[in-house]
């Protein structure tokens, strides 16, 4: 496939803006051709207008046709897999093995949503039948279900160029709810974004749907992102990235005459607490696993463990110090992320009561980051707000506490996180129940005797958490529940059955699970 550097608007190429965006190979330190066109305000408007026109058709398609579209997208990605993986590897420095697995995850979640849509019960149909003889007032017939909201804007993430990008979970869940999607491609991997976007557009065309069901625009300037969010036809936003960028989009959405929801997944320190029983039984093994989790993929995971907390952890400190000191440098996604990482590490290192261990030297000509371990006591950690902020990369802060009270003080000081991990025994869990309650209030996913890196794509997954991990802790960006972000409830009162959506009609013609007069049933 020839990569053109153009925007794709309703399935059509468009290149009105200047070609100023280039991919970059972080392993070789080289710019990649071709140049990509920054979307103009006119192109953004056309993309949203096309999406709104397509919405009138797409919102009414059958569940079978919607599921078929998602399956076709997965197949189209598979057909471009070799080229897509190779280009993504060039633009990110991530290995082809890692990206092949990520492509499988991307296709798998599309097919997962196809299954959800095909089964149909996700619309949460609720029926309360009329009771005309009820006293003192008759009860009306009320029937409620979830419906699509309209054009969804999706912002691709830098660290997952496939699974959280153009064809990723936000796009899959937006389409599954029968909403057109407009993607703002991440400028760090524009070539991979175009390949994926063309696969989606081809699947839309093969499904006989309007081209406006999917569009993709390029943009390195914040102005492009803000224009997409501020456009009056945009109905919701899905975003994965930094706190700064996510908050800027959220604030822009709130300033609109008609505010819209922004589902932003942002920074998270993902604390790991090591309790005494686990420390006594397996300190060395836990330290090995922690080093691997912190440095995996050069630490470029939203679930990277950025804080490790233990009680009287001399053995843990000794183990981690040695492991981090011998850790090789890792390639980061692009120079901008490396600069931000080095700035964060530098700010940590300047704190007076913090000691640092750095990993192996980085090659000067490559975009490489050295691993960093910082050690501090509970008092120092509580006294330095900077240590409680994410440093995106292979860095963690080890906090040594003298007792239960300090352990719980550290937990209370933390902001909202995507994950929180506890290593311990069953006895530890019983003795530190208060700590578990503190952490459950701070996080979206509580992990026992494991590591936070790695997010299983399944219906029960919760990938979200209290602010600043996300802008809305009630929702997830991974798993089938992600579809709920892009739907809204509508209730129909006293309508004849023939005028209702199929999901709410008498006789349950679709055979889905519904709540009827308070009871879950398929009757």
Residues 225, 278 within the same domain: no
The residues annotated as belonging to the active site are 265, 302
Average pLDDT over residues 335-361: 95
Other C-beta atoms lying within 10 Å of the C-beta of residue 19: 14
Residues 391, 427 within the same domain: yes
Helix residue ranges, H only, 59-189? 63-79, 81-92, 96-119, 169-176
Residues 430, 505 within the same domain: no
CA within 13 Å, CB half, 16:
12
Residues 123, 188 within the same domain: yes
pLDDT of 81 > 80? The answer is no
Residues 262, 279 within the same domain: no
**Per the domain annotation, does 218 fall within a domain?**
yes
**Per the domain annotation, does 35 fall within a domain?**
no
**Per the domain annotation, does 3 fall within a domain?**
no
pLDDT tens digit sequence for 485-505: 999 999 999 999 999 999 999
The mean of the pLDDT values for the chain is 97
Alpha-carbon dihedral sign for residues 315, 317, 318, 324: positive
pLDDT tier for residue 145 given thresholds of 50, 70 and 90:
very high
512 is in which domain, residue-wise?
492-521
Residues 192, 276 within the same domain: no
Residues 332, 221 within the same domain: no
CA within 13 Å, CB half, 168:
27
Residue 179: name the closest of 486, 521, 497 by CA. 486
pLDDT, position 216? 98
Residues 225, 366 within the same domain: no
Contact predicate 367/335, CB 8 Å: yes
Q: Interior CA angle at 367 toward 267 and 386, to 5°?
A: 30
**Per the domain annotation, does 182 fall within a domain?**
yes
Residues 190, 312 within the same domain: no
For the chain, first and last CA: distance in Å? 50
pLDDT tens digit sequence for 252-281: 999 999 999 999 999 899 999 999 999 999
pLDDT, position 120? 98
pLDDT tens digit sequence for 189-221: 999 999 999 999 999 999 999 999 999 999 999
Residues 393, 246 within the same domain: no
pLDDT tier for residue 1 given thresholds of 50, 70 and 90:
confident
Instruction: Write phi, then psi, for 100 (nearest 5 degrees).
Output: -65, -40
pLDDT, position 352? 86
Contact predicate 270/306, CB 8 Å: yes
0.85 exceeded by pTM: yes
Give the count of domains, the chain. Answer: 3
pLDDT of 468 > 90? The answer is yes
**Per the domain annotation, does 239 fall within a domain?**
yes
| SS3 per-residue string spanning 217-250 | ECCCCHHHHHHHHHCCCCCEEEEECCHHHHHHHH
pLDDT, position 364? 72
**Per the domain annotation, does 308 fall within a domain?**
yes
pLDDT tens digit sequence for 291-344: 999 999 999 999 999 999 999 888 899 999 999 999 999 999 999 999 999 999
**Per the domain annotation, does 16 fall within a domain?**
no
Which residues make Cβ contacts (< 8 Å) with residue 243, sequence separation at least 6? 266, 267, 390, 468
**Per the domain annotation, does 254 fall within a domain?**
yes
Residues 279, 317 within the same domain: yes
pLDDT, position 122? 98
Residues 79, 117 within the same domain: yes
Average pLDDT over residues 417-423: 98
pLDDT tens digit sequence for 422-453: 999 999 999 999 999 999 999 999 999 999 99
**Residue 419's CATH number:** 3.40.309.10
């Amino acid at each position: 496939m020839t990569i053109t550097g153009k925007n794709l608007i309703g399935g059509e190429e468009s290149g009105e803006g200047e070609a100023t965006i280039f991919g970059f190979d972080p392993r070789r330190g080289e710019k990649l051709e071709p140049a990509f066109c920054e979307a103009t305000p006119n192109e953004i408007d056309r993309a949203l207008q096309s999406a709104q026109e397509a919405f009138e058709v797409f919102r009414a398609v059958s569940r079978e046709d919607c599921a078929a579209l998602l399956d076709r997208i997965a197949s189209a990605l598979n057909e471009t897999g070799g080229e897509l993986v190779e280009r993504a590897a060039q633009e990110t420095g991530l290995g082809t093995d890692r990206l092949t697995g990520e492509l499988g995850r991307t296709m798998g979640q599309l097919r997962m949503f196809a299954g959800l849509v095909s089964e149909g019960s996700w619309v949460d149909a609720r029926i309360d039948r009329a009771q005309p003889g009820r006293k003192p007032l008759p009860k009306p017939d009320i029937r409620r279900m979830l419906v699509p909201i309209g054009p969804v804007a999706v912002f691709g993430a830098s660290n997952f160029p496939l699974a959280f990008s153009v064809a990723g979970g936000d796009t899959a869940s937006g389409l599954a709810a029968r909403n057109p999607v407009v993607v703002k491609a991440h400028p760090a991997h524009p070539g991979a974004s175009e390949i994926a976007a063309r696969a989606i557009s081809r699947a839309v065309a093969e499904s006989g749907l309007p081209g406006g069901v999917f569009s993709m625009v390029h943009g390195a300037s914040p102005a492009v992102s803000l224009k997409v969010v501020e456009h009056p036809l945009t109905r919701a936003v899905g975003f994965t990235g930094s706190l700064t960028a996510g908050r800027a989009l959220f604030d822009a959405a709130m300033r609109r005459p008609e505010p819209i929801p922004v589902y932003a997944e942002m920074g998270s320190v993902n604390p790991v607490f090591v309790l005494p029983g686990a420390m006594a039984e397996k300190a060395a093994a836990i330290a090995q696993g922690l080093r691997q989790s912190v440095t995996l993929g050069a630490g470029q995971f939203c679930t990277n463990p950025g804080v490790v907390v233990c009680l009287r952890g001399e053995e843990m400190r000794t183990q981690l110090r040695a492991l981090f000191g011998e850790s090789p440098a890792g390639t980061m996604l692009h120079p901008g992320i490396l600069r931000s990482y080095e700035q964060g590490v530098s700010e940590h290192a300047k704190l007076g009561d913090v000691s640092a261990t750095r990993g192996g030297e980085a090659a000067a000509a490559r975009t490489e980051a050295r691993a960093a371990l910082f050690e501090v006591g509970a008092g120092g950690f509580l006294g330095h707000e900077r240590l409680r902020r994410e440093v995106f990369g292979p860095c963690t802060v080890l906090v040594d506490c003298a007792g239960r009270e300090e352990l719980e003080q550290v937990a209370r000081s933390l902001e909202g996180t995507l994950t929180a991990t506890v290593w311990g025994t069953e006895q530890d869990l019983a003795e530190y129940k208060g700590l578990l309650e503190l952490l459950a209030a701070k996080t979206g996913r509580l992990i026992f005797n494991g590591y936070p890196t790695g997010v299983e794509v399944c219906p029960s997954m919760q990938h979200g958490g209290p602010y600043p991990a996300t802008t809305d802790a009630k929702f997830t960006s991974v798993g089938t529940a992600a579809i709920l972000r892009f739907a809204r409830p509508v209730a129909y009162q006293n309508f004849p059955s023939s005028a209702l959506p199929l999901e709410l009609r008498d006789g349950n013609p679709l055979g889905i699970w519904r709540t009827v007069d308070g009871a879950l049933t398929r009757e």
